[in-house]
C-alpha cells in the first residue's frame, strides 16, 4: 500500500476503559468539535464525515445501484475475478465465525456482501446492503470507506465509527488495486470485535495480496487494454519501494518488471512446481536442486507477489492455522541459505531477481490461445501436497484456467487430453462437451457417452454449482 502505515489499534483497544473513552471522545467531538483521545486516522475521518454532512444519528447511505444496474456493474467489474480467491481464503471462515465479507468498487459502493446470515440481517438495518454507497461522504467513518479515502489498510473498532448506529460493529478493510496501482475497490470484513483483531488484519492483507496477484496474472495473460477498462497496461513504472535490485551474476542488467519489481530481462532462475515432488529450483552455477515443500511454497508465493509480502501476509498464505511472524522470519532465513542471492534481504520479503516458473509458462500458452501447449506444460497440479492457502489458491486458479480453455476448445484431441488426466477423469461438463464436438458413431463419441452414463450411475446427478452467495 502506498504511503506510510496508518496508526493501528492499540493492544488495549477493547478494554472497558478504552471503550468508554472512545464514546466520551465521540460525544465531545459531536458537541464541541474538539477531538482528542482517538487515533489520528479516526480524528481525520470524523472531521471529513462532519464536513460531508453525514448525520451521526441517522445513517442513510443511499442505495446507488439496484437490481439490473447492480448486476450489470458486477458483471463488468474486474473484481468479479476476485470472488473465488476471497471465497477460498475468507468467506468459508466467515460463514462459521460470524463475519460478513464485502467487496466494494472504487466509489465505495457495495458490490457483493456474503457471510453469516444473522449478521447480514442485523447490518441491513444500518444500510449495509449490496448496492449501497459506503464511502465516507455518505456513511461516515467505516473501514472500507476510510480505506478508500486514505489508500491504507484500515481497522475501525466500535465507537470509532462516526454514526452511532454502526458503533456496535467493527471492521477491517484493505484497498484492492489493479496492476497499474489504481484503486479498484476495497475488501472488507465486518462483525463484532474479532473483525478488527490483529489476526483479521493479517488475513485481510493476505487475501488482498492474493487477489492482486491473480489480477496481475490475468492482466499479463490479457495484454494491454484501455485505461479503466477490462484490461490494464501490461507494464508500469518501478515501485518506489522496490530495492535497487541484484542478480545472481554481478553486473547483469536489471529492469523494472510488470509490477514494479526489479529483475533481469529474462528469468535468472526457474522454479518447477508442477511435477511430482516438492519442487525443483534451476539456478545458474548450481544446476537443478530439489527443494523442501516449505521452500518451494515460499519461492512460489514470492514469485506470485513480485511487489513483496510482509511477514503477517506470508504467515496467512503459508499456514491454514496460526503462524507467528517469528516462524515466518525463520523460514525465510533458511530459504536464503538454500537460494542464496535469489531472495532479497528487504522488508517486505521479495525476490532479488526475476524467477521464472512453470506456472507462468502455462499461463503464457493460455494467453496466446495455444491450449495444446498449455496442456503440454501443465504436468499436474501445483505442489499437490501443499496445504498452504496461498498455494492452494494458485493451484485452483491454474487448474480452473486450463480446464476452461479445454472446455472451450473445438478440437476433440484437446478435450480428450484433459479428460485423460486425473483432474479431468470425472469432469461431467468436459465429457458432455466431447459428446457435442464428436461425430455420432465415432470412437471418441461412444467413449464420452459411455463415461457420462457411468457418472450418472455413480453420482446420480449432474454437476454442482457453487455461487458466491
Give 295's pLDDT tier (boundaries 50, 70, 90).
very high
pLDDT at 228: 34
More confident residue, 266 or 374: 374
More confident residue, 413 or 173: 173
Average pLDDT in the chain: 82
CB neighbour list of residue 50: distance below 8 Å, 6 or more residues apart:
33, 162
Q: What are the domain boundaries of the chain?
A: 16-203, 267-408, 411-469
31-35, 342-346, 446-450 — which one is most confidently predicted on average? 31-35
pLDDT at 5: 53
- At 3-38, the pLDDT tens digits run 445 677 877 787 888 889 999 999 999 999 999 999
pLDDT at 260: 37
pLDDT exceeds 80 at position 231: no
pLDDT exceeds 70 at position 68: yes
Task: Choose the weakest-confidence range: 14-18, 377-381, 465-469.
Answer: 465-469
Task: Choose the weakest-confidence range: 25-34, 49-58, 191-200, 422-431.
Answer: 422-431
pLDDT exceeds 70 at position 353: yes
pLDDT at 248: 22
pLDDT at 271: 93
Return the CATH architecture of domain 16-203: 2-Layer Sandwich (3.30)
Q: Quick one: cell of 226? A: 484501455
More confident residue, 460 or 93: 93
pLDDT at 439: 87
Q: For 171-186, what is the mean pLDDT?
A: 94
Q: For 236-247, what is the mean pLDDT?
A: 30
Q: For 381-388, what is the mean pLDDT?
A: 92
More confident residue, 195 or 248: 195
Task: Choose the weakest-confidence range: 106-115, 208-217, 251-260, 412-421.
Answer: 251-260
Amino acid at each position: 500500500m502506498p504511503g506510510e502505515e496508518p496508526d493501528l489499534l492499540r493492544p488495549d483497544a477493547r478494554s472497558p476503559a478504552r471503550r468508554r473513552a472512545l464514546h466520551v471522545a465521540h460525544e465531545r467531538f459531536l458537541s464541541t468539535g474538539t477531538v482528542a483521545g482517538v487515533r489520528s486516522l479516526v480524528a481525520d475521518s470524523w472531521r471529513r464525515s462532519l464536513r460531508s454532512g453525514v448525520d451521526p444519528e441517522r445513517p442513510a447511505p443511499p442505495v446507488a445501484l439496484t437490481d439490473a444496474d447492480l448486476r450489470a456493474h458486477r458483471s463488468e467489474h474486474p473484481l468479479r475475478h476476485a470472488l473465488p480467491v476471497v471465497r477460498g481464503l475468507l468467506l468459508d471462515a466467515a460463514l462459521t465465525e460470524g463475519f460478513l465479507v464485502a467487496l466494494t468498487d472504487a466509489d465505495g459502493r457495495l458490490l457483493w456482501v456474503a457471510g453469516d446470515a444473522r449478521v447480514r440481517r442485523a447490518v441491513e438495518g444500518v444500510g449495509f446492503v449490496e448496492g449501497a454507497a459506503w464511502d465516507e461522504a455518505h456513511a461516515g467513518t467505516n473501514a472500507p470507506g476510510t480505506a478508500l479515502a486514505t489508500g491504507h489498510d484500515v481497522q475501525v473498532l466500535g465507537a470509532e465509527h462516526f454514526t452511532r448506529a454502526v458503533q456496535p460493529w467493527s471492521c477491517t478493510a484493505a484497498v484492492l488495486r489493479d496492476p497499474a496501482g489504481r484503486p479498484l475497490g476495497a475488501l472488507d470484513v465486518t462483525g463484532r470485535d474479532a473483525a478488527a483483531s490483529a489476526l483479521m488484519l493479517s488475513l485481510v492483507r493476505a487475501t488482498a495480496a492474493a487477489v492482486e496477484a491473480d489480477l496481475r496474472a490475468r492482466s499479463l495473460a490479457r495484454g494491454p487494454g484501455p485505461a479503466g477498462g477490462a484490461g490494464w497496461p501490461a507494464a508500469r513504472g518501478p515501485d518506489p519501494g522496490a530495492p535497487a535490485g541484484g542478480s545472481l551474476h554481478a553486473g547483469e542488467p536489471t529492469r523494472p518488471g510488470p509490477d514494479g519489481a526489479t529483475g533481469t530481462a529474462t528469468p535468472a532462475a526457474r522454479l518447477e512446481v508442477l511435477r511430482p515432488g516438492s519442487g525443483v529450483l534451476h539456478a545458474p552455477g548450481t544446476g537443478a536442486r530439489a527443494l523442501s515443500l516449505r521452500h518451494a511454497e515460499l519461492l512460489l508465493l514470492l514469485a506470485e507477489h513480485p511487489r513483496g509480502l510482509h511477514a503477517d501476509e506470508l504467515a496467512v498464505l503459508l499456514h491454514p492455522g496460526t503462524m507467528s511472524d517469528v516462524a515466518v522470519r525463520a523460514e525465510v532465513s533458511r530459504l536464503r541459505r538454500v537460494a542464496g542471492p535469489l531472495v532479497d534481504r528487504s522488508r517486505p520479503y521479495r525476490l532479488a531477481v526475476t524467477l521464472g516458473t512453470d506456472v507462468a509458462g502455462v499461463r503464457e500458452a493460455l494467453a496466446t490461445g495455444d491450449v495444446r501447449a498449455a496442456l503440454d506444460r501443465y504436468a499436474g497440479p501445483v505442489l499437490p501436497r501443499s496445504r498452504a492457502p496461498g498455494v492452494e489458491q494458485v493451484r485452483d486458479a491454474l487448474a480452473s484456467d486450463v480446464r476452461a480453455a479445454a472446455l472451450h476448445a473445438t478440437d476433440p484431441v484437446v478435450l480428450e487430453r484433459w479428460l485423460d488426466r486425473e483432474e479431468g477423469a470425472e469432469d461431467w461438463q468436459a465429457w458432455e462437451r466431447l459428446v457435442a464436438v464428436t461425430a455420432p458413431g465415432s470412437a471418441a463419441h461412444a467413449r464420452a457417452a459411455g463415461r457420462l452414463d457411468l457418472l450418472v450411475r455413480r453420482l446420480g446427478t449432474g454437476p454442482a454449482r457453487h455461487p458466491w452467495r
